[in-house]
Amino acid sequence: MKDLFQKCFQFTAAQEAIAQGYYPYFIPLDETEGTVARYKGHELIMCGSNNYLGLTTHPKVREAAIEAIRRYGTSCTGSRFLNGTLALHEQLEAELAEFVGKEAALVFSTGYQVNLGTISCLVGRNDVVILDRDDHASIVDGCRLSFGKIKRFRHNDMADLERVLRSVPSDVGKLVVVDGVFSMGGDIAPLPDIVELCQKYGARLMVDDAHSIGVLGGGRGTAAHFGVTDQVDLIMCTFSKSFASLGGFIAGDAPVIDYIKHHARSLIFSASMPPANIAASLAALEVMRSEPERIERLLHNARKMKEGLTSLGFNTGKSETPIIPVIIGDDMLTFTMWRRLFEEGVFVNPVISPAVPPNHQLLRTSYMATHTDEQLDRVLEIFEKVGRELGIIP
């Protein structure tokens, strides 16, 4: 008789890595102040966060969250469908729609739930959803929850996307879903080319801008970056990156958003965003509008680190954003470099297969507007020291 839990008892990889000192996940930080984190008294420069604009410590964002708790309490204790909608939710939706240039928006309790709910309710049994092979796991899971057929194309390969689109009958509903900025490589989807192919083959287009809003297009995302906002059907984003909060939204034409609002199971059957998270997101949005210099500083820091790491001899791939991978190409060497950087005072994230293709193991580094030049220079010094020590750079 087979025991369902047998695979759990046989899973020892994590414990073995902990015993050997190479386990890089679930590290319980004592505190984090944006660009600096502390672990057991050990201070680290944080280069592994998605806090791109550094707003988690912004006074306006903090105070907005605190005031929301004073006024509304800690939770809405219900679904948006029932008792869980506040006027504050609708204010955030209206302001987000205006910000990204769409008619309407809808907020969910997490970004993951946005992709689960949106894709699964739009893609029906006789429809086809088409993904970039490097799309985020939440996009893949949203497709799996739908009743449609899933097709994929090679990463940012427009000839392969056209091949896939051409293979789908014209009388079948089609949705193409791509990341605006890809979360591991930091490269940007070629939206103008994707838009052209979608229009040629009658497909709708959804862009996951989790790592783009607050970064590209004056903060308004990838479609704004390329000037194709009116040709992208749906824009999605999370609040856990530039918005310094938790939650997410989908924006598009009002009838489409209304349909999602009444059919997305991850919205209907989940408790709504808590007041503190709504208020923090609203405050972060206001800072994006009123302090554009933060975005300029973020892009300055991204250029500095891309140029610095590349000049040292590291392989940083095709990144054009504050996400800069340092490609190592070997599991153990990736973990060893992660540990040495950690010991020297730099926090980064090691990523191995299946999150990235085989032989493409990497250290995912990401940068904030609030990093100082002194901090970044120190990070480059440590990368050079460890990279030479391990023979990764000359």
The sheet carrying 346-347 orders its strands as 31-32, 36-39, 42-46, 346-347
How is residue 5 written in tokens?
Answer: 């839990």
Q: Which amino acid is present at 139?
A: I
How is residue 320 written in tokens?
Answer: 């054009």
Q: Specify the residue for token string 């391990």.
A: 390
- The one catalytic residue in 89, 102, 174, 211 is 211
Query: Which residues lie across from 206 on neighbouring strands?
Result: 177, 234
CB atoms within 10 A of CB 30: 10
How is residue 309 written in tokens?
Answer: 């790491």
- Look up 211 and say whether it is catalytic: yes
The 3-state DSSP composition of the chain as helix, strand, coil percent (nearest 5) reads 45, 15, 40
Q: Specify the residue for token string 């680290």.
A: 44
**What counts of helices (H) and strands (E) characterise the chain?**
15, 14
- The one catalytic residue in 183, 240, 245, 281 is 183
- The one catalytic residue in 89, 151, 174, 241 is 241
Residues 253 and 255: their CA atoms lie apart, in Å, by 6
Q: Which amino acid is present at 347?
A: F
Contact status, residue 269 vs residue 340, Cβ threshold 8 Å? no
Torsion from C-alpha of 153, 157, 161, 163, nearest 10 degrees: -100
Residues 220 and 139: their CA atoms lie apart, in Å, by 21
Q: 139: which residues sit within 8 A by CB, 6+ positions away?
A: 115, 119, 131, 177, 179, 208
Residues 197 and 199: their CA atoms lie apart, in Å, by 5
CB atoms within 10 A of CB 5: 8
Task: Give the active site residues.
Answer: 183, 211, 241
